[in-house]
Structure 1
Amino acid sequence: MSLQSNSPTAPGSPAPRHSVFAPFRALTSMQRRVFSACFLGWTLDALDFFILTFCLDQIGTTFHIGLETVAESLFWTLAMRPVGALLFGLLAERIGRKPTLMINVACFAIFELASAFSPTWPIFLVCRALFGVAMGGEWGVGAALALESLPKEGRGFFSGLLQEGYVTGNMLAAALSGIFAVAVAHLGLTGFAAGWRMLFVIGACLTLLVLALLATVDESPAWIAGRAAKLAKPPVALGLKLASNISQMTRFAPTFLFLTLMMFAFTSFSHGTQDLYPKFLKHDYHLSAPVISLVAMTGNLGALLGGMTCGTLSERIGRRKTIMFAALLAIPMIPLWAFSHTAVMLAAGGFLMQFMVQGAWGVIPVHLNELSPGPVRAILPGVAYQLGNLLSSRNGVFQSRATEHLFHGHMAPALGWTVLIVGLLVALITSLGPEAKGVDMSSNAAA
């Protein structure tokens, strides 16, 4: 079955609007499969990343290093993502979204598995850097394939749901960590089977599900149309094609620079509230691994609901207003999220904080793709996103240093100040930017 049209239903049969999931039910079977594959790819990519955040202590013990040094592995993963966004974005424009995404998924599974068997800290760092390259390519190519294949009706909903694949991966990492800790305690597991390395192996193996699903989906109809238009023209040498892609990026430099700055604020917002939070719960509150897992899962549930809610809301009030609304409302959640006295209250704070943080994030896939011109849609959003990650990649290191040197070993103030500063920054930058809600994305993707 081929996706030749973005029409969600047959003529004269409008999709029902009585529930938030009506846009998903209105999709064709192939459109559902495409979206599910892209969602699952982003989910398991995030799972493989967030497993690391639940193993920082164990990894430090294995390699005899401290928290600040272990946090360098987060930095190198994030720092290398722009490289992957550029490489896989260029490849997606040349050979198509689907095959590029399959290559990408295979790469991050391989590097995750290699991390599990790293014998020394330097080799582990190299594996995490290579994983970062693969991780960097997934979001841009997957978002392009999904959003180019779906109808513009309900695009905000699909954007919110797609972005929450990242949150779902975080939630699965929390669940896997908690279940694994219980299994180790009750089943008497020892050695390799009881350590952090096994979690990395499990994460890598789960990625095979994405490859199986991607094998059944169609290519982006927008890329196919653009490809046909290219084939009708005289052939161009590979070097000239690369130069053309770079020229296109230069042409849209103002948009690219603005989106990069915006993504710096957004990635600081998400990583600043997520990456060290499990460590914070153990370090400041001495919670057990199963309790930490439950608190993290509660926060991720809020994130999932926030992304879908705000993504849908953006269809009514606009992308910018929704982002600003969610970012500013994260600030009043700081006391409950970082300074509560019980695990239950921390979980409630985590739910509300991540509802707002990921509520703002839920608008990002559609907002970036709508603002990106068709000829560079597989490249520009992903590269801008990952360059933003690069600019914020030492966030975890800075938070760790602030904890040790400014707040006498207490992580709560470092986390709280992060949300206050970055929440205001997200709202400010978003307010200064453009909006292209509802723009046609059905053609010229590869022109």
Structure 2
Amino acid sequence: MSTTPPTPGATLHDDSSATAQSPQQAPSDGAFGWLRALGPRGRRAFTGAFGGYALDSYDYFTLPLSMVALAAYFGLDSGQTGLLTTVTLVVSAIGGAIAGVVADRIGRVKALMITVITYAVFTVACGFAPTYETLLVFRALQGLGFGGEWAVGAVLVAEYASAKHRGRTLGAVQSAWAAGWALAAIVYTLVFQFLDAGLAWRVMFWTGALPALLVVWMRRRVQDAPKASQTLGSSAHKGSFAEIFKPDLLRTTLFAVLLSTGVQGGYYTLATWLPTYLKSDRGLTVVGTGGYLAFLISGAFLGYLTGGYLTDRLGRKRNIVLFAVLSAASILAYTNIPDGANGLLLVLGFPLGFCMSAIFSGFGSFLSELYPTAVRGTGQGFVYNTGRAVGAVFPTLVGFLADSWGVGGALVFGAIGYGLAVVALLGLPETRGRELL
């Protein structure tokens, strides 16, 4: 049996794409043709998904940026601080899988709002944690919402986007991660400059209440794509884990999990430990760390947009291979710069952020195209977040090895993750140009 949904050719077309982009109403030429092609409803969906993912990123980075202060406040070693990230990512696998099923059963928009509320509430709760153990529990619960937001938002937008523009459209959604990261770095720099570190980390978590405003707007303005609405009302197999493990989808699911594990293992290793590496190993100040992160984040933002464009031009698989190789090379170069050459860190921060982000740009379109509408949320939520959970082992390994290897030396595990991603592509088909079933 076929391992993936058949390429449609003369079969079904995505009604939401057809509805969203008639030539008279939404010309698709030019730099922003992909945005015009979404139509008014699609653009509102894009705004909701972009905002949700940006704030998801902001709430996530409140922890890595505050990690040094947290370690000092609670008296933690590297392994304990790494565990805070790992528990977030592991629980996010549960949250992401649940959110995908919920999206297939009650709708994409409703599921998206639930995930945003969840991660916002528990991010704020982290700021009130009296002990390390309490913080660990709150951070785990934050992972429930954090895990589901991207998968649900990506499916929502993918079902509005045309096959021609789906890669760059979802790449633009991915760029919201860099926007949220940048906002978190700015707030971090200001908060830690003007407040004592023992209070500043709490304030960082309290600012995680911002997403509540987005939910109010989404409730009034954002709707599911027509094709998804029709399927949700008629399919007997919607939101079923059993469906994504049946023979026709089993191979796809297993290899997609491996792909997600490799890419996210590499990414979260770097995202979690880079601020600590810059401060502890390289001796940079708070403002200095923020300046170096600015180059990394600006590279990430452009990487998401460029990767989205290339995934439509080169194909999903070629884009991932290209940036897996470049990301691994960038990590090795970045962590082997001699002492006293911190200027090179500034220079290499931009390509590092660019490469490790561009590889993600095709994920939203690629995973959406691997599954039919009835289980698209379930498949994408399970695959992406299971990979995130297994990849979460990487930051913990870095934490436990940091005392003997140094943070910079231990970051080599990030490069290993990208190698796994390339191997996983051998079991997956190319889906560029595929209409959604």
Q: Secondary structure at the match of 1:195?
A: helix
> Does structure 2 conserve the Cα–Cα contact (< 8 Å) formed by 1:181 and 1:290?
no
Matches within 5 A, 1:385-400: 385-400=384-399
Matches within 5 A, 1:17-56: 17-19=29-31, 21-56=32-67
Cα shift readout 1:250-300 (whole Å, capped 9, x = no counterpart) = 212221111111111011121122110000000111101111112112111
Matching residue within 245, 264, 269 for 1:267: 264
TM-score, reference length from structure 2: 0.90
- 2:409 aligned partner, one-letter code: P
> Does structure 2 conserve the Cα–Cα contact (< 8 Å) formed by 1:175 and 1:294?
no
Give the Cα separation in 2 of the matches to 1:249 and 1:423. Answer: 25
Matching residue within 126, 134, 139 for 1:115: 126
* Distance 1:72-1:356 versus aligned 2 partners, 3 A rule: same
Q: Percent identity?
A: 27
Matching residue within 65, 77, 87 for 2:76: 65
1:338 paired residue number: 335
Cα deviation, residue 155, structure 1: 0.8
Unaligned runs of 5+ in 2: 1-14
| Worse overlay, 151-160 or 71-80 | 151-160
* Distance 1:177-1:6 versus aligned 2 partners, 3 A rule: farther
* Distance 1:436-1:71 versus aligned 2 partners, 3 A rule: same
> Does structure 1 conserve the Cα–Cα contact (< 8 Å) formed by 2:82 and 2:396?
yes
1:207 paired residue number: 211
| Worse overlay, 375-384 or 323-332 | 323-332
Give the Cα separation in 2 of the matches to 1:319 and 1:57. Answer: 38
Cα deviation, residue 167, structure 1: 2.5
Cα shift readout 1:153-204 (whole Å, capped 9, x = no counterpart) = 311111211122222222222121112223x1xxxx4597x4201110012x
Matches within 5 A, 1:85-96: 85-96=96-107
Cα deviation, residue 107, structure 1: 1.1
Determine whether 1:229 maps to 2:221: no
2:358 paired residue number: 359
Q: Secondary structure at the match of 2:377?
A: coil
TM-score, reference length from structure 1: 0.88
Determine whether 1:130 maps to 2:147: no
Give the Cα separation in 2 of the matches to 1:245 and 1:165. Answer: 29
Matches within 5 A, 1:165-176: 165-176=176-187
Give the Cα separation in 2 of the matches to 1:103 and 1:18. Answer: 35
Q: Secondary structure at the match of 2:115?
A: helix
Give the Cα separation in 1 of the matches to 2:98 and 2:332. Answer: 42
Give the Cα separation in 2 of the matches to 1:41 and 1:393. Answer: 22
* Distance 1:426-1:124 versus aligned 2 partners, 3 A rule: same
2:428 paired residue number: 433
* Distance 1:342-1:225 versus aligned 2 partners, 3 A rule: same
Cα deviation, residue 381, structure 1: 1.1
Number of residue pairs aligned between Structure 1 and Structure 2: 418
Q: Secondary structure at the match of 1:314?
A: helix
1:280 paired residue number: 277
Unaligned runs of 5+ in 1: 231-235
Cα deviation, residue 149, structure 1: 2.1
1:371 paired residue number: 370
Cα deviation, residue 45, structure 1: 0.9
Cα shift readout 1:41-87 (whole Å, capped 9, x = no counterpart) = 11111111111001112112222222221211101000101111122
Cα deviation, residue 13, structure 1: 6.4
- 1:413 aligned partner, one-letter code: G
Cα deviation, residue 330, structure 1: 2.4
1:314 paired residue number: 311
Determine whether 1:198 maps to 2:210: no
* Distance 1:412-1:5 versus aligned 2 partners, 3 A rule: closer
Determine whether 1:253 maps to 2:286: no
Q: Secondary structure at the match of 1:23?
A: helix
Cα deviation, residue 426, structure 1: 2.2
- 2:101 aligned partner, one-letter code: L
Q: Secondary structure at the match of 2:303?
A: helix
Matching residue within 417, 420, 427 for 1:422: 417
Q: Secondary structure at the match of 2:23?
A: coil
- 2:131 aligned partner, one-letter code: T
Cα shift readout 1:68-110 (whole Å, capped 9, x = no counterpart) = 2121110100010111112222222221111111122111111
